[in-house]
């Protein structure tokens, strides 16, 4: 049952983004089946997150009651992003491929949430993800980097990081050869959206 949807867009295009079109189509399909579901949207291209740096590292690793006001502000954003992820039972992520890899904007979103004790823990058996019972649908878009090919460094990275957080229910919808054959690329993506179990 889908009750809370988190939509993450990462395209830097103000208009004409295929990944945004697909995330919109996916969310529309989900909300048509579950009209009472809430949708939270973050457009990382239009509203980029601050990069994780030394100040961020110190802030999130300082005990809450010992943080300066500046550190509290830095940590609060990271906390909010983690809370959004954990609150969603379905996450829809736009993954436009730039230079064979995920956009920097999406990488920063992941970096902001990569915190021991929050999204993962280390155990004697290795890392253990702390985000459970979450479904992710990824809208993969590329002009010619075929998903799963030797030059695709985007989809595998995202799947790995989601798994690192504990999310293993990950599905992909792909328009991955748009510059080569736009019609067949979008046809494949639209068929993928239509085949999703809402």
Q: Note the pLDDT of residue 120.
A: 97
pLDDT tens per residue across span 74-95: 999 999 999 999 999 999 999 9
Angle separating helix axes 104-113 and 69-87, nearest 10 degrees: 100
pTM score, whole prediction: 0.96
Residue 142 annotated as part of some ligand binding site: no
Q: Note the pLDDT of residue 2.
A: 80
The CATH homologous superfamily to which domain 4-195 belongs is Flavodoxin domain (3.40.50.360)
Residue 17 annotated as part of some ligand binding site: yes
Q: Where are the domains of the chain?
A: 4-195
Residue 18 annotated as part of some ligand binding site: yes
Q: Note the pLDDT of residue 80.
A: 97
Q: Note the pLDDT of residue 182.
A: 96
- Pairwise CA distance, residues 154 & 151, whole Å: 9
Which residues does the chain have with pLDDT short of 50? none
Q: Note the pLDDT of residue 198.
A: 78
């Amino acid at each position: 049952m889908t009750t809370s949807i988190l939509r993450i867009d990462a395209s830097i295009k103000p208009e004409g983004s295929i990944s945004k079109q697909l995330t919109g189509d996916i969310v529309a399909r989900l909300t048509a089946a579950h009209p009472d579901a809430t949708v939270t949207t973050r457009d990382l291209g239009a509203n980029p997150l601050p990069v994780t740096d030394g100040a961020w590292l110190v802030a999130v690793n300082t005990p809450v009651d010992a943080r300066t006001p500046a550190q509290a502000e830095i940590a609060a954003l990271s906390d909010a992003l983690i809370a959004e992820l954990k609150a969603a039972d379905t996450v829809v992520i736009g993954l436009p491929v730039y230079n064979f890899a995920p956009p920097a904007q999406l990488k920063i979103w992941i970096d902001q949430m990569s915190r021991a004790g929050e999204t993962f823990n280390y155990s004697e058996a290795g890392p253990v993800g702390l985000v459970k019972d979450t479904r992710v649908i990824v809208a993969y878009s590329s002009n010619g980097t075929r998903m799963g090919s030797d030059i695709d460094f985007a989809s595998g990275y995202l799947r790995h990081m989601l798994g690192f957080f504990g999310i293993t229910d990950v599905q992909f919808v792909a328009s991955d050869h748009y510059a080569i054959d736009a019609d067949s690329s979008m046809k494949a993506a639209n068929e993928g959206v239509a085949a999703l179990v809402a």
